[in-house]
Chain A
Amino acid sequence: MKLLIEVILFAIPMIVLAWTLPKKYVLISQIAITGLFIAYQSPLSFVILSTITFGNYYLLHKAVLPKSIKIAISLGILVLLIVSAKILFTIHDNWIIPLGMSYYIFRNIHYTVESYNGRILDESLLFYLAYNFFLPVLIIGPINRYPEFVRDWQRRRVNNEYFSLGLQRMLYGVSKIMIIGNYLLSTKFPSIIANLDESHLWLKAYLETVTVVLNAYFQFAGYSDIAIGISLLLGFRVMENFNFPFLASNMQEFWSKYHMSLTAFCRDYIYTPIASYFRKPMLGVVVTMIIIALWHEITLPFLIWGSLQAFGIYLAFLFKNSPTSLVSKNLGRVFVFNYFCLSCVIIDYPDLGKALEVYKILFLIN
């Protein structure tokens, strides 16, 4: 049943084989099971992802070209692939984007850049395949890093603490999705909100907005927990993706705690180069947030959403030297929660007109 259960079902033999097979066959078994999973879900995705993997590896390590040319071609193709895929799949609603492609491309961009920087110490095809075909993080992250992946593999041993923590994380992850996301926020609360009297128009609109954002958060955080849990059971410690983002007291802090693997990726490969080259941190923030937004979907609502996030971070820059107290910190938390929820209205609705209607209700404009 459904993708979540299938990920767990495919992970079970992977975990068993990871601790029963001789070490030299473990990575091969992980690659094979992940390959089977992708092929089972979508044979076309398997072909596309395999082509990208082998193509990029051949280009980086086997092609006889100057290093800078190889890196430029690799990055050019990867960026072109993700941009064209996003545009094509935005135009054709009925097309299904290859499974986990966005994350897959990001991992490959990371590999290419680190390869250019000389930080890829182990260039074997086996590790590269195992890194790209790693089931827990395949579909929706976290965007794990290659050097950490190889380090974890080298240090890997039976660790009771990892097993215990892994199972606990999986249970909490499933609970976030099933109980909080699917039951409370998708079934129970919407019916309560729908039964509210029509005179409570503002309250209805506000609660609907909050419910949608919280549902997205718990679904996503839940899956990240499951991915981290399965990785721990396999002996790998994947980076965290969320760190209580709604307790952040400004938008800058919020974005360092929300979808952390993506923001860390964008900080390293987009923000830092731009901010340090132009000596303008805010320019880096604007470009980064707009790229993060367009990475979700190349549409006008997402462009506006990204700009709003950048503006939120700009406000945090403006007030960064103001004195902090417990009251201001808690007021900041209320602001961050509401600012993020309200900014998400624009991407929650299929057309801008409907979103504007909701904004009119929320801001009490007749």
Chain B
Amino acid sequence: MYKLLTTYLPKGLANITIALWYFFLIMVNLYCAIAFNQGTFQYVGW
């Protein structure tokens, strides 16, 4: 993804974009983990 971004954007802007994207993902993950209390992995036991 970083390589794709740096192809079309200046390096600084690509860095900021990817940092924002990771921040967004982390926040949504935290929200899902807290809001649904499902911080689990459902397929264990093989």
Contacts and interface: CB of A to CB of B under 8 A. Distances in A.
A1 B40 CA distance: 8
A174 B40 contact: no
Contacts of B40: 1-4, 182
A140 B39 contact: no
Contact of A5 (B28, B39, B43, B46): B39
Interface residues of A, number: 32
A177 B32 CA distance: 10
Given A171-B22, A171-B25, A215 B42 contact: yes
Interface residues of B, number: 18
Contact of B38 (A140, A186, A216, A220): A186
A178 B26 contact: no
Nearest to B22: A171
Interface in A177-230: 177-179, 181-183, 186-187, 215-216, 219-220, 222-223
B9 interface: no
A113 B14 CA distance: 48
Interface string B9-44: 000000000000010011011001100101111111
Q: Is the interface of A mostly helix, strand, loop or mixed?
A: helix
Contact of A97 (B22, B28, B46): B46
Contacts of B43: 140, 216, 219-220, 223
Contacts of A175: 25, 28-29
A220 B40 CA distance: 12
A189 to B, nearest CB: 13
A175 B44 CA distance: 18
A182 B32 CA distance: 8
Most buried by A among B28, B39, B42: B42
A178 B33 contact: yes
A223 B40 CA distance: 10
A187 B44 contact: no
A178 B39 CA distance: 7
Contacts of A1: 39-40
B44 A3 contact: yes
A216 to B, nearest CB: 7
Nearest to B21: A171
A364 interface: no
A2 B43 CA distance: 12
Contact of B39 (A4, A97, A172): A4
Q: Which 3 A-B pairs have the closest CB atoms?
A: A2-B40, A182-B38, A4-B41
Interface of A: 1-5, 96-97, 102-103, 139-140, 168, 171-172, 174-175, 177-179, 181-183, 186-187, 215-216, 219-220, 222-223, 295-296
Given A187-B38, A215-B42, 7 more contacts: A1-B40, A4-B41, A168-B22, A171-B29, A172-B25, A186-B42, A219-B41
